[in-house]
């Protein structure tokens, strides 16, 4: 898909050195994607909220090579420092994309990237990072060849390319909310790329907050890539995929109607299901920490005591995503300061919210 061998630069009229820069957010899956097949294809559809403050800034600098060769020439900087491990991963990714972007072999490339949040701690840094890079590549193609002038075509290709780097990244391309994976409940949905579903959202969910309580900044003991692979031998895999499809249908109904209680129940059930799947993998592993469990208990108690619609979710890590509507932000932020911060690493939490999606900067 999207293979185009004609995207080759004219060496007699090479482009001037320049750069393209994108800021792309992370996203939080409410119905989780866990388990894949083929080339980064999901075993079940997922639905995510697009965040705002948790983002990656990526600059892609390019210059035409003076001497042609058949390799991709790449320098890589993460937070202004060379990073050979990330360079190797990015180089392998770019090499895999030469059917879609054959002109990459004609350029010297420099990637400069950085996150607004800690890497590899379960805040989906691959989603923001790979979506930012995919957007840069599509902007570069459009700048050099004028092939992605239509916004829908640009976004769909960017989502497709992002998916090849990280499955969840394909959802970060779109504002407010996105679905990735074929579902009869979402017209136009696909395993190949995500689709926007902001039109399905009740206004309540466009003003939703996700404050991330950073329980730990340590790198995860098991990567998400390895976790997905372990689903192949998980005895609960097939029932889980069926469960996710059912929950997605119910979640879409709640998002349309503004049903916070159903939304919250699905969000919490999905978070715990994700970690239960990790605990019953072979080998099993656990990413939750004692403070994660303490926070879950306090959230449930606070909801029962106050009646406020405050819920939790988790990604593949120990950090809590605290979900609630904007109308109670003052009360909830005060509660975080007074009671929940003590469970966070150095008292750190990230104030985040449902956002407008990526922006070129």
In a domain, 8, yes or no: no
Q: Is the pTM of this model over 0.85?
A: yes
> Domain total for the chain?
2
Is residue 12 a part of any domain in this protein? no
**Residue 131 shares a structural domain with residue 119:** yes
Instruction: Go through 82-114 and write b for each residue having 16 or more CB atoms within 10 A of its CB, e for each that does not.
Output: eeeebbeebbebbeebbebbbbbbbbebbbbbb
Give the closest residue to 333 by CA, choosing from 310, 355, 316. 310
Task: Give yes or no: residues 132 and 275 share one domain.
Answer: no
CA distance 194 to 47: 9
The whole-number average pLDDT for the span 162-188 is: 97
What distance in Å separates the CA atoms of residue 140 and residue 59, rounded to the nearest whole number?
11
**Rounded Cα distance, 307 and 316, in Å:** 28
Tell me, yes or no, whether 105 and 241 share the same domain: no
Beta bridge partners of 56: 24, 115
Q: Could you tell me where the DSSP H helices lie in the chain?
A: 84-96, 125-145, 151-165, 203-206, 224-230, 237-257, 260-279, 290-306, 329-335
Is residue 135 located within the same domain as residue 221? no
**Tens of pLDDT, residues 277-316:** 999 999 999 999 999 999 999 999 999 999 999 999 999 9
**What pairs with residue 112 in β-bridges?**
59, 77
Q: How confident is the model at residue 220 (pLDDT cuts 50, 70, 90)?
A: confident
* CATH number reported for the structural domain that contains residue 175 in this entry: 3.30.230.10
Residues 193 and 214 in one domain: no
Report if residue 119 sits inside a domain.
yes
The pLDDT, as a whole number, for residue 125 is 84
300 & 168 share domain: no
The pLDDT confidence band at residue 68, using thresholds 50, 70 and 90, is confident
Evaluate whether residue 356 is within a structural domain.
Answer: no
Task: Identify whether the C-beta of residue 30 lies closer than 8 Å to the C-beta of residue 265.
Answer: no
Give the CATH number of the domain where residue 215 resides.
3.30.70.890
Within a domain: 3: no
The range of the structural domain enclosing residue 344 comes to 203-350
Tell me the pLDDT tens digit for each residue of 21-61: 999 999 999 999 999 999 999 999 999 999 999 999 999 99
Closest CA to 136 of 224, 74, 67: 74
Tokens standing for residue 217? 């900044």
259 found inside a domain = yes
* 109 within 8 A of 60, measured Cβ to Cβ: yes
In a domain, 185, yes or no: yes
172 shares its domain with 233: no
Which residue, 200, 223, 258, sits at the end of a domain? 200
92 and 80 inside one domain? yes
Tokens 């829908």, residue? 152
Confidence grade of residue 178 (pLDDT, cut at 50, 70, 90): very high
Q: Which of 200, 224, 259 is the last residue of a domain?
A: 200
Q: Tokens in use for 83?
A: 């990073």
Query: Do 148 and 209 sit in the same domain of this protein?
Result: no
Q: Last residue of a domain, which of 159, 177, 200?
A: 200
Whether residues 27 and 64 share a domain: the answer is yes
CA end-to-end distance (rounded Å), the chain: 28
Indicate whether 120 belongs to any domain.
yes
Residues 264 and 340 occupy one common structural domain: yes
**Cα–Cα distance, 347 to 46 (Å, whole number):** 31
Q: Are 281 and 146 within one domain?
A: no
């Amino acid at each position: 898909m999207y293979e185009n061998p004609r995207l080759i630069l004219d060496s007699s009229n090479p482009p001037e050195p320049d750069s393209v820069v994108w800021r792309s957010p992370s996203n939080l899956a409410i119905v989780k994607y866990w388990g894949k097949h083929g080339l980064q294809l999901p075993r079940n559809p997922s639905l995510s909220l697009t965040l705002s403050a948790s983002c990656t800034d990526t600059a892609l600098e390019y210059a035409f090579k003076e001497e042609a060769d058949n390799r991709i020439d790449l320098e890589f900087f993460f937070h202004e420092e060379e990073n050979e491990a990330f360079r190797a991963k990015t180089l392998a990714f770019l090499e895999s994309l030469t059917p879609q972007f054959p002109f990459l072999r004609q350029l010297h490339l420099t990637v400069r990237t950085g996150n607004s949040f800690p890497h590899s701690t379960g805040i989906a840094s691959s989603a923001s990072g790979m979506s930012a890079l995919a957007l840069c590549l599509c902007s570069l193609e459009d700048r050099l060849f004028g092939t992605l002038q239509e916004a829908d075509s640009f976004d769909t290709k960017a989502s497709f390319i992002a998916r090849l780097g990280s499955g969840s990244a394909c959802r970060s391309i779109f504002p407010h909310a996105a679905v990735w994976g074929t579902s009869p409940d979402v017209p136009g949905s696909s395993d190949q790329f995500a689709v926007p579903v902001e039109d399905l959202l009740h206004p309540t969910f466009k003003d939703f907050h996700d404050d991330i309580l950073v329980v730990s900044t340590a790198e995860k003991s098991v990567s998400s890539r390895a976790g997905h692979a372990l689903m192949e031998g998980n005895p609960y895999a097939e029932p889980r995929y069926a469960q996710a499809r059912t929950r997605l249908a119910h979640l879409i109904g709640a998002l349309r109607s503004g049903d916070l209680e159903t939304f919250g129940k699905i969000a919490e059930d999905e978070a715990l299901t994700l970690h239960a799947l990790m605990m019953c993998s072979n080998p099993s592993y656990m990413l939750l920490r004692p403070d994660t469990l303490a926070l879950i208990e306090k959230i449930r108690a606070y909801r029962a005591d106050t009646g406020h619609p405050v819920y939790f979710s988790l990604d593949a890590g120990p950090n809590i995503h605290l979900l609630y509507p904007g109308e109670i932000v003052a009360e909830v932020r005060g509660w975080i300061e007074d009671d929940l911060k003590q469970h966070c690493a150095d008292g750190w939490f990230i104030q985040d919210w449902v956002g407008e999606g990526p922006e070129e900067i």
